[in-house]
Amino acid sequence: MRINILGCYSATPRTFTNPTSQVLEIKNHLFLIDCGEGTQVQLRRNKIKFSRIKHIFISHLHGDHYFGLAGLISTFRLLSRESELHVYGPKGIKEVITLQMKLADSWTNYPLLFHELTSKESELVFEDEKVEVYTIPLQHRIYANGFLFKEKPGNRKLNIDAINEYKIDKAYFKKLQQGADVVNEEGELVANEEVTYAPSKRKSYAFCSDTAYKEDIVTIIKKVDVLYHEATFLERHEHLAPKTKHSTAKQAAQIAKLADVGTLILGHYSTRYDDIEEFRQEASEIFKKVELADDGKYFEF
């Protein structure tokens, strides 16, 4: 599981910082999460293949989280894309994007599919044989969701030495991988755990931005491997958090601790701060395993 941070600062882009956008690589998927201004430039700068992006998840309709989307969709067209592109986001995302394409007479030459979200409860929005994605209802000034990405259980791994010892025909390999007990060449029933290894631990990633402190998301993100949680403010500016519906680094750490997550990644910093290391220091007083997002930085788990 790899997370590429393309942008992680709040509000407006600057010459040296970018608004929110990141790419999650998991089980051979490349999911784009949010698409602030400059996303396609950052994709190129980080050498991420445009053609591998087939699903884009937009948290909410504030510009620093989606103003780059129309440009990226247009670029896909210019690159003669043919494969489907799925966009998941709040109701209204289809209207705002298609209006721009209509007025520019720039309809895509590939299937562009919108999945508009309205539920205030967590719901499954994407699923295939390897990954499932759920919404995480957030508390912001407008309707907003985070996203929970979870690997599905993998197949068990074959212990070839044990299989040969128990004289099991290779015709049963698939059943063994699926967890079944099988009969060997001598007519004996062989327990699955005797000839296979457990599958790799399932990985999970939760993206939570933008949001005020919201404890009821804890049940959704409980024990995720990695939590990205917005930390717009430091504690000395906590008074700004309720009115803007954002969080402090301390509050992000409190959520991470309550949810017992593996690693907390902080991001969405206000540009009023000169040193983002202060965010780590504040959060680490409550939750020990803290990482700082930064533009162009990536994490592997």
Helix axes 277-284, 249-259, angle to 10 degrees: 40
Distance separating alpha carbons of residues 50 and 75, to the nearest angstrom: 9
Annotated catalytic residue within 64, 225, 260, 295: 64
What is the SS3 assignment for 76? helix
Single-letter code of the amino acid located at 132:
E
Q: Which residues contact 261 (CB under 8 A, 6 or more apart)?
A: 206, 221, 223, 224, 225, 226, 227
- The tokens for 201 are 């631990």
Residues near 150 by beta carbon (within 8 Å), at least 6 away in sequence:
131, 132, 133, 134, 202, 203, 204
Residues 6+ apart with CB under 8 A from 147: 33, 57, 59, 125, 133, 134, 135, 136, 206, 207
Tokens 């990633």 belong to 205
> Counting runs of H as helices and runs of E as strands, what totals does the chain give?
11, 18
DSSP for residue 233? B
Q: Is 128 a catalytic residue?
A: no
**Residue tagged 């296979």 (tokens):** 196
Joined tokens for residue 170 = 């290779």
Would you give the distance in Å from CA 39 to the centre of its chain? 16
Alpha-helix residue ranges (DSSP H) falling in the chain: 39-45, 63-66, 69-78, 93-103, 160-165, 173-177, 192-195, 218-221, 240-244, 249-259, 277-284
Residues paired with 131 in a beta bridge? 151
The alpha carbon torsion through 295, 262, 25, 115 (nearest 10 deg) reads -90
Residues annotated as catalytic (active site), given as ranges? 64
